[in-house]
Structure 1
Amino acid sequence: MSCASATLAVWASAWLAGAAAPDDVLDALAPWSEAHDVLAADDDTALLTDLPGPGGRPTSLALLLAAVRRAAPRGQARLVLAAPGDVRGLPGPGRFSREATTTGEGVLFPGAGFGVVPSPIADGVVRWTVYAVPDSGPAPEYVPLNEAERELRGQVRNAAAVIADLGVARHRPGVREEIAASLRRRPRALWPGGMPPQALRVLQQADEVDAILVAAAGDEPGGALSASAAVARSDALRPIATAVRVARRAAVGEAVRVLVSVPRT
């Protein structure tokens, strides 16, 4: 499942490297929503990107890709997964960083000088809002994929222990079926040929752990946690959520590295 931003980061990078066609990028994003549109966040960004700004009529992802190509013909995309207290990978203070943290995801195009953040605006419609990012900040934290995978596996065990400690399985005996059903309902991500197998495996594991997190964060039917119990649950789940973000960033970063490094004829 991963997230729409991961899909865009991988496919846009592959397209810029000549490993995919523009239609491939659009097709890969289709599972995330029936429709996607694009709007610049302000007039300055609209001028920078030649995309419609506030008050304008939203445009298409195809024109977003064209804007990326004009600004950085051989650039790469960077997946941003942030949360309050975990701002790794963000370019620094600014609207893009604030919105990406609020939404939990975004895509930065360092060479192009802007980033995009997706958000649902209506049933079946996702809007990608474009923000100017004149300084992309330092290179993102590098986490070897092997290390991220080991940490994620450890957090799978921790997640099982947390569910037991919180009594989730006891109060909701069908929680395992809930997790399986949640995974089945999620969009099936499409990836380019040539994706590193380990990156695909880590992305799948991250999705599974994320589904466990969603189940563990939910209250039992007809019940509610006390304030102290809710805080304890949040504290217990936070490192697991962090490991999921780290693993996804590492997997997408490795996928981009491999896809853009393949020689093209």
Structure 2
Amino acid sequence: MSSPSASLAVWTSSWLAGISAPDDVIDAMAEWAPMHLVVAADETTALLTGLSWPDPRADGIAAVLTSIRAQIPGPSVDAVIELLLPTAGAVEDLPPRTEFARAAIGAGQAVVLGRAGTSGLAFVPTVEGPDVMRWTAFSTPVKDHYTRDFTLGEAEYAMRDAVRGAAEALGSMQSLPTRAEHGDARTRIGEELAELMRHRYPVDTPERALRVLESADRVSAILSVARSSAPTEAPTAGAALAREELIRPLWAAVRAARLSAIAAGVASSVPRR
């Protein structure tokens, strides 16, 4: 699992469908941090949700689930559970010039929950310390449709190409001189993958979605190792630009694949339009 928001999205949808128990969700989220603080972003959201404001409380994921249940009482064609992974040049699903948008961009992730075409909730996680994660709840409009660059089938195909491209990027960057010894690349890729794979998925996650997510994790691990293996300063500005142009589309493909796969996992539990 690549992010706390992805975990919250798939486990919440499984719970709302009655496939997973609340304790399953809490246990899965505990893998990210043993303590979860929850706070409303403003007084209006606090009144709507019953969450604390302005100071967070150690109410844990149980408080998040209570707020979500109020927004989505159960499976419905109008239910929306949407993972967002905003990044530079890809913020189209965020309400512009809002505190939620700024927080989501800063975190690089968020989950939007509610009923399509109404006002719902968005949760943005931030790391407060080695054992503490903070979730901030925002009131936000819930869209009928969210941006998808890939279908699940297209994402699976794109990840096959991306694995090859990431391996080529790693080989290219490792051929450049570096100032520090980072260790064996294969070992470090394995360590990156092990960290991503320690987070579980619900039993109802479709096999194809799991394949896409596993491939995306592999590409992400290779790119992370490639980036740390590259020189901190490229020999020329042109070389630095070429290096960035080599890996940028691969990261974009990973992001798009993860969004499509998580959406497929959510749709398998909660009916979607």
| TM value normalised by structure 1 | 0.89
Contact 1:19–1:260 (CA<8 Å) still a contact in 2?
no
Aligned to 1:44: 44
Task: Tell me the amino acid that sits aligned with residue 110 of structure 1.
Answer: G
Contact 2:196–2:217 (CA<8 Å) still a contact in 1?
no
Aligned to 2:198: 188
Residue 161 (structure 1) shift: 1.9
Task: State yes or no: 1:141 paired with 2:153.
Answer: no
Aligned to 1:29: 29
For the residue of structure 2 that corresponds to 1:166, the secondary structure is helix
Residue 163 (structure 1) shift: 2.0
Contact 2:33–2:132 (CA<8 Å) still a contact in 1?
yes
Residue 78 (structure 1) shift: 0.7
Give 1:123-162 correspondences, 5 Å limit: 123-133=130-140, 135-142=141-148, 143-162=150-169
Give 1:116-265 correspondences, 5 Å limit: 116-133=123-140, 135-142=141-148, 143-167=150-174, 174-186=184-196, 188-219=198-229, 224-226=233-235, 228=237, 229-261=239-271
Q: Note the aligned Cα RMSD (angstroms).
A: 2.4
Distance 2:38 2:256 in 1: 27
User: Residues 187, 126 of structure 1: CA spacing in aligned structure 2 closer, same or farther, 3 A cutoff?
Assistant: farther
User: Residues 185, 18 of structure 1: CA spacing in aligned structure 2 closer, same or farther, 3 A cutoff?
Assistant: closer
User: Residues 56, 8 of structure 1: CA spacing in aligned structure 2 closer, same or farther, 3 A cutoff?
Assistant: closer
The correspondence for 2:106, drawn from 88, 102, 105, is: 102
Task: Tell me the amino acid that sits aligned with residue 225 of structure 1.
Answer: A
Residue 62 (structure 1) shift: 0.5
Query: Which range moved further: 116-125 or 12-21?
Result: 12-21
User: Residues 56, 177 of structure 1: CA spacing in aligned structure 2 closer, same or farther, 3 A cutoff?
Assistant: closer
Distance 1:231 1:48 in 2: 48
Residue 110 (structure 1) shift: 3.3
User: Residues 54, 209 of structure 1: CA spacing in aligned structure 2 closer, same or farther, 3 A cutoff?
Assistant: same
User: Residues 80, 257 of structure 1: CA spacing in aligned structure 2 closer, same or farther, 3 A cutoff?
Assistant: same
Aligned to 2:88: 84
User: Which runs of no fewer than 5 residues in structure 1 stay unpaired?
Assistant: none
Task: Tell me the amino acid that sits aligned with residue 45 of structure 2.
Answer: T
Distance 1:250 1:82 in 2: 14
Distance 1:224 1:206 in 2: 27
Contact 2:13–2:270 (CA<8 Å) still a contact in 1?
yes
For the residue of structure 2 that corresponds to 1:115, the secondary structure is strand
What count of residue pairs does the alignment treat as equivalent?
260
Distance 1:122 1:56 in 2: 14
Q: Deviations for 1:124-175, whole angstroms, at most 9, x for unmatched residues?
A: 1111111111x22351124311101111211111112222232358756722
Distance 1:160 1:124 in 2: 33
Q: Deviations for 1:81-118, whole angstroms, at most 9, x for unmatched residues?
A: 11011124434442222221221111111326110011
Task: Tell me the amino acid that sits aligned with residue 190 of structure 1.
Answer: R
For the residue of structure 1 that corresponds to 2:36, the secondary structure is strand
Distance 2:193 2:70 in 1: 38
Residue 7 (structure 1) shift: 0.9
User: Which runs of no fewer than 5 residues in structure 2 stay unpaired?
Assistant: none
Distance 1:186 1:10 in 2: 15
